[in-house]
Amino acid sequence: MKTRSALKTGCVFLFLVLAFGNRLFADDIPTFSDPDVNIFVKSYAQFVIDYVDAYKAAKTGDGSKLQALQPRTRELQAQVAEIPGKIKPDEAEKFSTFIGQCSAKISDVTKQ
Protein backbone atom coordinates (compact mmCIF):
# COMPACT_ATOMS: atom_id res chain seq x y z
CA MET A 1 0.00 0.00 0.00
CA LYS A 2 2.87 2.36 0.76
CA THR A 3 4.24 1.99 -2.77
CA ARG A 4 0.81 2.71 -4.27
CA SER A 5 0.64 5.87 -2.19
CA ALA A 6 4.07 6.93 -3.43
CA LEU A 7 3.01 6.18 -6.98
CA LYS A 8 -0.19 8.18 -6.67
CA THR A 9 1.75 11.07 -5.16
CA GLY A 10 4.23 10.91 -8.04
CA CYS A 11 1.45 10.96 -10.62
CA VAL A 12 -0.31 13.87 -8.94
CA PHE A 13 3.01 15.69 -8.82
CA LEU A 14 3.51 14.96 -12.52
CA PHE A 15 0.19 16.59 -13.36
CA LEU A 16 1.38 19.72 -11.58
CA VAL A 17 4.75 19.62 -13.30
CA LEU A 18 3.22 19.23 -16.75
CA ALA A 19 1.89 22.75 -16.56
CA PHE A 20 5.41 24.20 -16.17
CA GLY A 21 10.63 22.24 -17.50
CA ASN A 22 16.28 21.53 -17.86
CA ARG A 23 18.28 19.12 -19.60
CA LEU A 24 17.80 15.45 -18.88
CA PHE A 25 20.43 13.10 -20.12
CA ALA A 26 20.13 9.45 -21.05
CA ASP A 27 21.74 8.48 -17.75
CA ASP A 28 18.90 10.23 -15.89
CA ILE A 29 16.15 8.22 -17.56
CA PRO A 30 15.27 5.08 -15.61
CA THR A 31 13.91 1.93 -17.20
CA PHE A 32 10.89 -0.07 -16.10
CA SER A 33 9.54 -3.54 -16.78
CA ASP A 34 6.54 -2.25 -18.76
CA PRO A 35 7.41 -0.94 -22.26
CA ASP A 36 4.60 1.64 -22.12
CA VAL A 37 6.11 3.14 -18.98
CA ASN A 38 9.51 3.34 -20.69
CA ILE A 39 7.92 5.12 -23.66
CA PHE A 40 6.18 7.56 -21.33
CA VAL A 41 9.35 8.26 -19.32
CA LYS A 42 11.33 9.00 -22.49
CA SER A 43 8.53 11.22 -23.83
CA TYR A 44 8.28 13.09 -20.56
CA ALA A 45 12.05 13.57 -20.34
CA GLN A 46 12.01 15.05 -23.86
CA PHE A 47 9.06 17.24 -22.88
CA VAL A 48 11.03 18.62 -19.93
CA ILE A 49 13.96 19.45 -22.22
CA ASP A 50 11.63 21.13 -24.70
CA TYR A 51 9.80 22.97 -21.95
CA VAL A 52 13.02 24.39 -20.51
CA ASP A 53 14.03 25.64 -23.96
CA ALA A 54 10.55 27.09 -24.54
CA TYR A 55 10.51 28.76 -21.13
CA LYS A 56 13.85 30.40 -21.81
CA ALA A 57 12.58 31.58 -25.20
CA ALA A 58 9.45 32.99 -23.56
CA LYS A 59 11.58 34.99 -21.14
CA THR A 60 13.17 36.66 -24.15
CA GLY A 61 9.78 37.45 -25.68
CA ASP A 62 9.05 34.38 -27.82
CA GLY A 63 5.99 32.70 -26.28
CA SER A 64 5.23 30.66 -29.38
CA LYS A 65 7.31 27.71 -28.23
CA LEU A 66 5.37 27.40 -25.00
CA GLN A 67 2.11 27.56 -26.92
CA ALA A 68 3.36 24.85 -29.25
CA LEU A 69 3.84 22.52 -26.26
CA GLN A 70 0.17 22.67 -25.24
CA PRO A 71 -0.94 19.64 -27.30
CA ARG A 72 1.95 17.55 -25.91
CA THR A 73 0.96 18.58 -22.39
CA ARG A 74 -2.53 17.18 -22.93
CA GLU A 75 -1.12 13.99 -24.48
CA LEU A 76 1.17 13.39 -21.53
CA GLN A 77 -1.65 14.04 -19.08
CA ALA A 78 -3.71 11.35 -20.80
CA GLN A 79 -0.77 8.93 -20.80
CA VAL A 80 0.09 9.45 -17.14
CA ALA A 81 -3.43 8.46 -16.13
CA GLU A 82 -2.61 4.93 -17.31
CA ILE A 83 0.77 4.68 -15.56
CA PRO A 84 -0.27 3.65 -12.01
CA GLY A 85 -1.64 0.33 -13.25
CA LYS A 86 1.51 -0.42 -15.24
CA ILE A 87 4.21 0.23 -12.65
CA LYS A 88 5.12 -2.69 -10.45
CA PRO A 89 5.11 -1.94 -6.71
CA ASP A 90 8.90 -2.27 -6.49
CA GLU A 91 9.28 0.34 -9.27
CA ALA A 92 6.99 2.97 -7.77
CA GLU A 93 9.72 4.74 -5.83
CA LYS A 94 11.99 4.84 -8.89
CA PHE A 95 9.16 6.42 -10.91
CA SER A 96 8.46 8.97 -8.17
CA THR A 97 12.16 9.83 -7.97
CA PHE A 98 12.28 10.39 -11.74
CA ILE A 99 9.25 12.70 -11.59
CA GLY A 100 10.85 14.57 -8.69
CA GLN A 101 14.05 15.07 -10.71
CA CYS A 102 12.02 16.41 -13.62
CA SER A 103 10.19 18.76 -11.31
CA ALA A 104 13.48 20.03 -9.88
CA LYS A 105 14.78 20.76 -13.39
CA ILE A 106 11.61 22.67 -14.20
CA SER A 107 11.71 24.51 -10.91
CA ASP A 108 15.36 25.47 -11.44
CA VAL A 109 14.68 27.09 -14.79
CA THR A 110 11.63 28.99 -13.56
CA LYS A 111 13.73 30.49 -10.74
CA GLN A 112 16.28 31.96 -13.17
pTM of the shown model: 0.75
Average pLDDT, the chain: 82
pLDDT per position as a tens digit, 38-91: 999 999 999 999 999 999 999 999 999 999 999 999 999 898 888 989 999 999
Please name the residue ranges forming H helices in the chain: 2-18, 35-59, 64-68, 70-80, 92-110
Residue with the bigger pLDDT between 27 and 59: it is 59
The phi-psi region of residue 32 (left if phi > 0; otherwise alpha if psi is between -120 and 50; otherwise beta) is beta
- For residue 88, give the 3-state DSSP assignment: coil
91-106, pLDDT tens digit by residue?
A: 999 999 999 999 898 8
| pLDDT at residue number 5 | 54
